[in-house]
Structure 1
Amino acid sequence: MHRLQCLTRFRIRPGRLDDFIKLAAACIEAARAHDTGAVRYDIFLDADRLEAAAYEEFETSAAAMAHLDHLTETADALRAVADVRHEVWGNPYPELARRYRSLGARIMGPLLRLGA
């Protein structure tokens, strides 16, 4: 079984950087408290402080689904302060794929791998 990876990009709306940072911190805290299947969850901010990205990696689709479940409210608030685009890399199970697609996510399945 291969892990599921997600990249979420945020274009922060003018005047909303402080709100974005607070919400991003809330996401990290929620993941720290509740995500048992998250391998990685990092949020990055560009030098101009206009765009950010979250890189997430989960052991399984079930772990990714649990992550979405406990971040729904905060994710909705993030969409109020930033334009959001999601990419999912891997083979999420059908229910999770439907959920990501409802968020406008682009899903990419594996093509080639370096490792096993």
Structure 2
Amino acid sequence: MTDIKGIDPSVPPTGTGCADCDAVGGWWFHLRRCAQCGHVGCCDSSPAQHATAHWKATGHPLVQSFEPGEQWFWDYDGNEMYESGPQLAPPGDHPADQPAPGPTGRVPEDWTRRLHR
């Protein structure tokens, strides 16, 4: 997976958490980073599923996990996972002290019941 349409390795992530959840005081389970524009959104298990919403709104098909220690990419158009790909601009994941789910202080006590499965 090198020189792939839909990946701009020079674009940094938009922040350390889901930009859309942060805007409304929401929370997330895991984070995904758009490989084209750097938008950080929450995963499909999260209540708001902002990474998928970003793909649907923009047509940017590739995301990379924004979780520490994970390098995989997901292609929404092809419904396919890639174990690795080009290195994107740093940082490659959210801060290690940021919990998952997160962020601290906004995760409800019954968060496991609120996940999409």
Q: So what's the TM-score if we normalise by structure 1?
A: 0.28
Which structure: larger Rg? 1
Greater fraction helix: 1
- TM-score normalized by the length of structure 2: 0.28
Higher relative contact order (CA 8 A, sep 6+): 1
